[in-house]
Amino acid sequence: MKENKKTYWKGLEELTNDETFVKNAEREFPEGPSNLDGSNRRDFLKLMGFSLAAASLAACEAPVRKAIPYVNKPVDINPSIPNYYASTYASGGDYASIVVKTREGRPIKIDGNKLSPISKGGTNAIVEASVLSLYDKQRLSGPYINGEKSDWATIDAEVKSKLSTAGTVRIVANTVLSPSTQLSINQLAETIGAEIVTYDPISNYGISSAAKTSYGVEGIPTYHFDKANVIVSFGADFLGTWISPIEFAKQYANGRKISKEKPQMSRHFQFESNLSLTGANADYRTPIKPSQSGLAVLALYNAIAKQSGASTVAGGAVEVGHLDKAAKELWANRGKSIVVSGSNDPNVQIVINAINDLLENNGITVDFSKPSYFRKGDDAKMSQFVSDLAAGRVGGVVFYNCNPVYDFARGAEIAEGIAKAKVSVATNGTMDETASLVQYLAPDHHYLESWNDFNPRKGEYSLSQPTISPLFDTRQAQESFLIWAGNNTNYYDFLQENWSSSLFGTQSEISNFQEFWDRSLFNGVYSLSAESSAVQSLTDISVAASSISKTYKADNGGVELAVYSKVGIGSGAFSNNPWLQEMSDPISKATWDNYLTVSQKWANENGLKMAEGATRKANITIGGKSLSVPVLVQPGQADGTVGLALGYGRSKAGRVADGVGVNAFELLDASKGFVNYDITEGVSIELTSESYKIAQTQTHQTYMGREFVIQEATLGEYKENASAGRYFPKVYKEGEFLKPSKISLWKGHQYSQHHWGLAIDMNSCIGCGACTIACQVENNVSVVGKQEVLNRREMAWIRIDRYYSSPEGASTNEELELAADNPEVTFQPMMCQHCNNAPCETVCPVAATTHSSEGLNQMTYNRCIGTRYCANNCPYKVRRFNWFKYHDNKDFATVNVAQNDDLGKMVLNPDVTVRARGVIEKCSMCVQRIQAGKLTAKREARKVQDGDINTACASACPTNAIVFGDMNDPESNITKMLKIQEDTTSALKEVNEERAYHVLEEINVSPNVWYFTKIRNKDKSEA
């Protein structure tokens, strides 16, 4: 049996059975220091006698606690009752329409806005975590002049007079999605005769530039991955970081949701260098070098042109696996396919446009008639600006919430150039790398304190509104611009006027502007209807093709660097957020670091052996710039390439991010007129002997090699047999083999009212990790910092297990090692399984963990005495122990900021206890939300409706891979998904859905969390 099965492993050390891995795997809890301040167990005992007496004495005095009501209670705010406001998250060109939950006037949680036609209720990790940045006490507390605190009147007077006499003035900004903001900037620009320069830290200039060349369109196309049967991506990480990942993830998952009624899913080919989140989800993934990518795109063009009868172009002679197959299937599905590329080279994007034209996708899956505005950056113009600034040709510069000193390829030149300008102004909210160099700092509000509007796509608008009064003496940047332009309108009126004149007239439904405004604000979004159509191509691709032939090589000898951005950190704008720093990377499962990802082959050649995060540092040198980075062996990394993430190496981000990792922006190349993230020449890497530890979470919490945690099948197998890939364990009893659930020591619970459960579709889960951050925010989960992650003490209640797997049949070491070069990847969200026969409950000596009458496994912190028996006995390894007091502890003040300073604590969810030292904690299935939802139903004297209650993970999930519901309710989504037919109050439900399974069914702990088998759209079981 074993010979036919795939081998699954979480890290290379598990695959090779490394001795440190085996040692750690056997130990439930790591050894090592369990105290930070040097006091030990004996001191504790000595102190205990005294403290007991002291505590009893102290307890006699009632602590005087104040209850301070409002003087004037706002009508809408009732203490303990949350309010929700529709708003918009936008940073650079990243966009999500959101709903902000506030308690007592404090924003504490961000959810997706289901009314948005773009983000459709989805969020990602960065959006979820952005609420913490509001409470960053290192935000600027007021305006500064030359590093000295000043006041608004002074700064306004000086900036106004100086800008008007500065000569050439440039206003530098990231993509501005807001039409009203753009108007205010334009007013300033007109008044002082300035020019606006737009760039994006993660540029997609190639696409917008190609759109102009190919079709004469301003903007980038709108993509529809849900309408595509075949998806081909050349290095575009569209599920993780590329342009609008929340939107694309939703579309992608829609195209890949599978059921007996709809046994179809899209097929996804990925050609890339680094193993990206998108590549990890692909059906066919081919590692290629960046230097080959242009040629591969040309080759695909030629292959399709051959089939369509169009003329081929010269070039494209390159050997790339699966490319011909992709071409054939694309052609067979023309009009229902999509080809995208992550390259920032306009020439490559022109060819991509031509391919989509040939495939008749133009106007269907790739829509230029309804362009998106997520990336407006113009790399060429920005480069020109940097040259001007460095040469002292710029008299005045205004930075609008951007940090090019850090996040533009030529940041160092900007840093030097700023001093040459007569006047420099920034509106940045923190004293970052750029802000610390300018003369005038007029800090903007945080986005949760601001009014604004957005136009992310032609015909799509949204609004953002303040959800809290400004915490500091900041001012909306737009208002600053208006004041400096001599316009004293406040921005809210300006915004309304703008909507009144431009958008109110576009509808006829509402005749009163105030009503129109109120409704748009309430919904958060406003859409104009528009038809999509194909856009006529203006050029042929011969120029682009010949340029590609010159720049790309089929057979490049040297090492190549592919710079990428991480799902959690992005461009590094929010890297001072400890939630994002500690979120483990979906692929490498590393936290608190960036590192050079190398292939297994490179590691072997250079004699590097990596196990349990222990590795060595290497020096990477490009064009005279050298960085010292730790090396991480990454399965799936294309041979001859290395990867390095952006967003790290901040020097002035704040106490959390400063000094974490290295800055890869410095290595980027802006010399070709666009920012090039693929460095194909002049890269040298030298492994040093300096050892280093990367805090990876991947091999923590292992199942000790138990089989069938992951159950998967190919689409073909599924079509033949809906339960393909399923494992049906049988237990022998008295002469017959029985299902494990038929044999039990327990009587079984009765759930008379509710039976809460989760259904997790592994086919939809893309591993993005939005749920992990949502859980962290909702449940006040502590951040523990790098050292404690290394000690294997991270506190996450929900983790996403990333499994690599080899093809079936691979059993010898050589075969497995080959598989490790480009493994299949499966993601499995893992949280408390709320077992009906819970092993943890039976071993707790103090009954601190018990079962509820609604199917929940309850954890009572105030009862827990910390024996950790439960964690030892948990087969899923989802219980976390509080080794330290993480709140109000100076040792964790710089990492666990949400629980350590007065401002940070404002983000805590008041309905969830902050746990003390020495207790176990774990997923509660958001019991606070369940209780609140039940109470609402009771107060309204009705039943709980499906959808009234949702867990934080399920509501954050952009792909609806996690579904929460009441399995006793015949109308609920989860009951229908699992096909539970009988109406029973028993804990043991007969589930008729063939794909649904329990992890570790054979031990019959009977979880309330069900998983759906992963289906890959492959022809046969092949890697």
Q: How far apart are CA 675 and CA 390, in angstroms?
A: 18
Closer to another protein by Cβ: residue 44 or 70: 70
Residues 6+ apart with CB under 8 A from 368: 211, 215, 217, 221, 362, 535
Least gap, CB of 984 to another protein (angstroms): 12
Closer to another protein by Cβ: residue 523 or 860: 860
Residues at the interface with another protein (CB under 8 A) = 56, 59-60, 62-73, 78-81, 752-753, 848, 850, 852-854, 856, 858-863, 911-913, 924, 927-928, 931, 934-935, 937-939, 941-944, 985
CA distances from 224 to 94, 337, 502, 530 (A): 18, 9, 28, 15
* Tokens 């090692």 belong to residue: 817
Q: Is 900 left (phi over 0), alpha (psi -120 to 50) or beta?
A: alpha
Q: How far apart are CA 813 and CA 15, in angstroms?
A: 9
Return the structure tokens found at 784. Answer: 């523990």
Closer to another protein by Cβ: residue 626 or 753: 753
Q: How far apart are CA 569 and CA 593, in angstroms?
A: 10
Q: How many CB atoms lie within 10 A of CB 564?
A: 25
Q: What are phi and psi of 283, to 5 degrees?
A: -75, -45
Answer for the pair 657, 579: CB distance below 8 angstroms, yes or no.
no
Q: What are phi and psi of 822, to 5 degrees?
A: -150, 75
Closer to another protein by Cβ: residue 66 or 890: 66
Q: How far apart are CA 134 and CA 139, in angstroms?
A: 8
Q: How far apart are CA 99 and CA 109, in angstroms?
A: 8
Closer to another protein by Cβ: residue 74 or 309: 74
Least gap, CB of 968 to another protein (angstroms): 8
Least gap, CB of 832 to another protein (angstroms): 12
3-state DSSP call for residue 790?
A: helix
Least gap, CB of 997 to another protein (angstroms): 27
* Side-chain-facing half-sphere of 466: CA atoms under 13 Å: 15
Name the β-bridge partners of 284: 269
Least gap, CB of 749 to another protein (angstroms): 11
Least gap, CB of 998 to another protein (angstroms): 23
Closer to another protein by Cβ: residue 449 or 911: 911
Closest residue by Cα to residue 782 from 928, 902, 892 = 892
Closest residue by Cα to residue 219 from 356, 376, 377 = 376
Least gap, CB of 697 to another protein (angstroms): 25
Least gap, CB of 887 to another protein (angstroms): 12
Closer to another protein by Cβ: residue 49 or 69: 69
Least gap, CB of 127 to another protein (angstroms): 26
Closer to another protein by Cβ: residue 152 or 861: 861
Q: How many CB atoms lie within 10 A of CB 236?
A: 28
Answer for the pair 5, 628: CB distance below 8 angstroms, yes or no.
no
Closer to another protein by Cβ: residue 714 or 924: 924
Closer to another protein by Cβ: residue 60 or 153: 60
Q: How far apart are CA 461 and CA 526, in angstroms?
A: 5
Instruction: Please report, as a single letter, which amino acid is at residue 991.
Output: V
Closer to another protein by Cβ: residue 762 or 987: 987
Answer for the pair 589, 696: CB distance below 8 angstroms, yes or no.
yes
Least gap, CB of 341 to another protein (angstroms): 48
Least gap, CB of 993 to another protein (angstroms): 25
Closer to another protein by Cβ: residue 68 or 153: 68
410-419 long-range contacts (CB < 8 A, ≥24 apart) are: 410/383, 410/386, 410/670, 411/665, 411/666, 412/666, 413/386, 413/387, 413/389, 414/386, 414/389, 414/390, 416/390, 417/386, 417/389, 417/390, 417/391, 417/392, 418/389
Closer to another protein by Cβ: residue 70 or 728: 70
Q: How many CB atoms lie within 10 A of CB 689?
A: 6
Least gap, CB of 966 to another protein (angstroms): 11
Name the β-bridge partners of 801: 828
Closer to another protein by Cβ: residue 617 or 929: 929
* Burial state string for 459-468 with b = 16 or more CB within 10 A and e = fewer than 16: ebbbbbbbbb
Answer for the pair 283, 255: CB distance below 8 angstroms, yes or no.
no
Least gap, CB of 46 to another protein (angstroms): 22
Q: Considering only the C-alpha atoms of the chain, give the largest distance between any 2 of them, rounded to a whole number of Å.
A: 96
Least gap, CB of 753 to another protein (angstroms): 6
Closest residue by Cα to residue 998 from 736, 701, 706 = 706
Closer to another protein by Cβ: residue 562 or 954: 954
Least gap, CB of 65 to another protein (angstroms): 4
Least gap, CB of 912 to another protein (angstroms): 6
What length is written for the chain? Answer: 1023
Closer to another protein by Cβ: residue 931 or 981: 931
Q: How far apart are CA 868 and CA 35, in angstroms?
A: 17
Least gap, CB of 978 to another protein (angstroms): 20
Closer to another protein by Cβ: residue 78 or 154: 78
**796 CB burial (10 A radius; 0-12, 13-18, 19+):** buried
